[in-house]
Structure formats: structure tokens, C-alpha cells
Amino acid sequence: MPGTSGSVALLCNVAENSKKIFITPEDIRKDELVSNELFELRDLYGSQECIPPMEKRGKTYKISSWAQIHLDILTRLPGTTCTAFFAPKWTVLAARTSHRASFSSGDSLPNVLRLAYWGLIETIAEGHEVNIPVISGSSSNPKGLLASLRHALSLYPTTPAVVIRDYGILVWADSLSNLKSKTETIERLSELKVFDYHLVTRQSLL
């Protein structure tokens, strides 16, 4: 996540009835973050509280605008321990070109990013295609975005991610390493999707 972009949340189970969720702050460089600059949401034996980072000279901390979305994913999807939002170039472009191609071909599912899949990572999909729903919205309207996200998950309960049109992607996993693998795989497959789309378009024009 370059610069101040992106947001990550990580769930840590402390005991059977207690957990902590760490969330990155807003407008702080992610590549320079240290542990005491994370927001800590604690639910220890029924006592809920949010512990903000300690203020430092020249730094003001504000919890990520994606916090509500992160919390919903962590509590809604069993086995999920981490979730992230970021804006990868090729995934955003792939969703845009896929949407354009779907309407031109009369596709009945224009709001789904279909990525060809060759078994690069066994946990990312079943079969030979990854279907990722594409929704509209932004963190400036969390209620509307949350409603769209929940609807998408009801239609595609096994999806590894959700693309927010012209904005970015939400990805989740059972570990940070798997989350990293998923995001890199989706971005690579999206890049191939974009090149394939332009190749087919060029051939049809010729």
C-alpha cells in the first residue's frame, strides 16, 4: 500500500470469549506504521472499547473510514481474520473493461468480474473461473456501501473479494499471508484480463 492509501484490519482471538481487532489509521503512511500506531478495538469478556493510538508530535490519528466495513466482514464471514481495502491498478481497470464488454454483448451479469483461473492458488476459487462481484459506492457513504456489500455477499457467498467500481477492492482471508497471495493473484489475473480484452477488440477491428 503506497503512501497513505489503503486500510487493513486484523482479528486476534485472545481467549474463547475475548478478541481484539487492530485497524490501520487514516491518512498515515502504511509503509511506516508501527504497532503502537494502530487502533485497537477490544471485546474482552463483553466489555467493548476502542483504544486509539497515543498522539505523537505532528501526528493526529483518525480511525480508518473503512472500519465499519472491515468489522462487518470479520463478523459476517466465518474463519476470516483479516481484511483489506486497496486500489490496485489492473483490478480496477479489469472491472471497468469487463463492465463495458458485458453490456456490449448483452451479458445478463454485467456487474461481475470474471477472471480466468488456472489453479494458481487452491484456496482462491473452485473450478476454472473466479467470479468477483462489482458494486458501486465509497467510504464516504458507509451505510450505502455496506448495504451493497451485504447484497453482493448474499449472491456470491464464496467470492474471495468484492470490487468497488472505479475505486478499489476489498479482500479477506484467514491469514495475512493468504490475503497477500489472494490480492497478488487477483491483480495478476486482472492484468491478463485487460490485455485479453484489448487484444480481442483489436482483432475484431481488423
d(Cα 112, Cα 108) in Å, to the nearest integer?
10
18-68: per-residue pLDDT in tens? 889 999 999 888 888 888 899 999 887 667 888 888 877 777 889 999 999
d(Cα 142, Cα 160) in Å, to the nearest integer?
21
Read out DSSP for 117-132?
--SSSTTT-STTEEEE
pTM higher than 0.75, yes or no? Answer: yes
99, 93 in Cβ contact below 8 A? no
Closest to 50 measured CA to CA, from 60, 40, 36: 40
| Beta-ladder partners of 51 | 40
176-204: per-residue pLDDT in tens? 999 999 999 899 989 988 887 756 555 45
d(Cα 92, Cα 94) in Å, to the nearest integer?
6
